[in-house]
Amino acid sequence: MLVDASGGATTITMPTPTSAWDATNGASLVYNISKIDSSTNFVTINPSASETIAGETSFDLELQNECLTLITNGTNWYLKD
């Protein structure tokens, strides 16, 4: 997902981890989120409810071309290399 925050701070809400988790195959959908503008506006990524993203309640992208790749275990979101 390419996010342009030049018009103002932007918030992305992730789907529930269970909807992105294939328990039969033990596989996660992969979400790539990238801030593509050079503004000082943040792109904030929030979980859908009480889950976490790498143990945090939200995650911010601040710089142009900063990218976040997320996977899930069906319960929480994790950073992928």
Alpha-carbon dihedral sign for residues 50, 54, 55, 60: negative
> How far is the C-alpha of 37 from the C-alpha of 22, rounded, in Å?
33
How confident is the model over 44-63, as pLDDT tens digits?
Answer: 999 999 999 999 999 999 99
How confident is the model over 9-44, as pLDDT tens digits?
Answer: 999 999 999 999 999 999 999 999 999 999 999 999
> How far is the C-alpha of 81 from the C-alpha of 79, rounded, in Å?
7
Give residue limits of the domains in the chain.
2-79
Give the pair of three-digit tokens for residue 49.
């409810």
pLDDT band at 81 (very low <50, low <70, confident <90, very high): confident
